[in-house]
């Protein structure tokens, strides 16, 4: 493989910010992906694994190492005797394409994850979730490269340390490279809708079932109204999705917040709404640091920090720092960024 000339990462991220890459290599099969990662490691060259660029904020200085553009493909289906299907997917497959195909077949388990941009390989890293579903609920195993041993292994879901927007792959990003996932779906044509907002959109009660096609349609409609479906000519959708995770607090901290702050039970504590905290820290729709600022909170969703057209990574970071500062000052809660930050940090200037 021959590296391509340096190119701007802004062209490959949904925030449309980021400086140049040192080298750029496109890999189209697992063998090439493994070989390139191990080559970079042996040479001491930093490697950035790039999927859809939808959960990524790259510094204006760019990335000095090698960007490995993961464009692997493959989707294999095994029908199981109990009415389920096992689907094995390459990391470079488009996630929403897979959801669309699953819904077309009447397979349930990921229909509420419709409209999420990016590629399959990112889904276990973030434990992608929305509207009552997390990808960890359907993952059977994740095929990974262990950069320490050089071995390729199929890691069972029980070893992946899945949590809220987290996994072993996110905690140890320098060790694991996701090559693909195996998920198990139900060939039932319907799925249980647990998320109240989604149930209201469908006109049903929570904890009742609905056709997967109807669920997908409702989710896409909700996401579009919130500016969470990327539209090429609409800067209010140029974002990394939710920029902050919903904080998980202990009971005392959660109960110290105003009574109207939404709270949700969680295995790790009490989850509270980051969007509510932002909105009630005097940062409403379209909030920006000044009238001419090119980075702003979306007019449709408080968690999305958007590029109005010519923002830099520094602009996005300045806005994110101010959002975090105001929420902490008002409520004593420190927001955690959800996207991967490359060459930058909210803690540094």
Catalytic positions are 165, 242, 338
Instruction: State the SS3 of 12-50.
Output: HCCCCCCCEEEEEEEECCHHHHHHHHHHHHHHCCCEEEE
Structure token digits, residue 175: 């060790």
Structure token digits, residue 104: 């077309």
Exposure letters 222-232 (e unless 16+ CB within 10 A, then b): bbeebbbbbee
Helix H or strand E segment including 270 = strand 269-272
What span, in angstroms and rounded, lies between the C-alpha atoms of 58 and 35? 25
DSSP state of 310: S
Q: How far is residue 52 from each of residues 11, 119, 289, measured CA to CA in Å?
A: 11, 5, 29
Side-chain-side CA neighbours of residue 112 (13 Å): 25
| Radius of gyration of the chain from its Cα atoms, rounded to whole angstroms | 20
DSSP state of 90: E
Side-chain-side CA neighbours of residue 199 (13 Å): 12
């Amino acid at each position: 493989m021959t590296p391509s000339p340096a190119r701007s990462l802004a062209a490959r991220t949904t925030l449309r910010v980021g400086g140049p890459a040192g080298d750029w290599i496109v890999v189209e099969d697992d063998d090439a992906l493994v070989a390139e990662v191990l080559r970079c490691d042996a040479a001491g060259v930093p490697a950035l694994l790039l999927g859809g660029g939808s959960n990524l904020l790259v510094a204006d200085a760019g990335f000095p190492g090698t960007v490995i553009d993961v464009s692997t493909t493959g989707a294999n289906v095994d029908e199981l005797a109990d009415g389920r299907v096992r689907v094995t997917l390459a990391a470079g497959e488009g996630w929403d394409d897979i959801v669309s195909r699953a819904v077309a077949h009447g397979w349930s388990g990921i229909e509420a994850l419709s409209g999420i941009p990016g590629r399959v390989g990112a889904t276990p890293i973030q434990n992608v979730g929305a509207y009552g579903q997390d990808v960890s609920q359907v993952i059977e195993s994740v095929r990974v490269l262990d950069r320490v041993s050089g071995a390729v292994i199929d890691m069972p879901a029980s070893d992946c340390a899945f949590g809220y927007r987290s996994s072993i792959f996110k905690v140890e990003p320098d060790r694991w490279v996701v090559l693909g996932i195996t998920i198990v779906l139900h060939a039932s044509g319907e799925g249980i809708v647990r998320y109240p907002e989604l149930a209201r959109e469908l006109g049903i009660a929570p904890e009742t079932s609905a056709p997967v096609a109807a669920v997908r349609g409702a989710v896409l409609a909700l996401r579009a109204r919130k500016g969470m479906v990327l539209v090429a000519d609409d800067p209010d959708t140029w974002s990394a999705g939710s920029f902050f995770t919903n904080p998980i607090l202990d009971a005392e901290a959660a109960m110290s917040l105003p009574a109207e702050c939404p709270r949700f039970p969680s295995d790790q504590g009490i989850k509270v709404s980051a969007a509510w905290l932002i909105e009630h820290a005097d940062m409403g729709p379209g909030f920006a640091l000044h009238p001419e600022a090119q980075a702003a909170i979306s007019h449709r969703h408080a968690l999305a920090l958007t590029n109005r057209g010519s923002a830099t990574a520094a602009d996005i970071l300045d806005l994110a720092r101010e959002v975090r500062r105001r929420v902490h000052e008002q409520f004593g809660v420190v927001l955690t960024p959800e996207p991967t930050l490359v060459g930058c940090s909210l803690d540094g200037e």
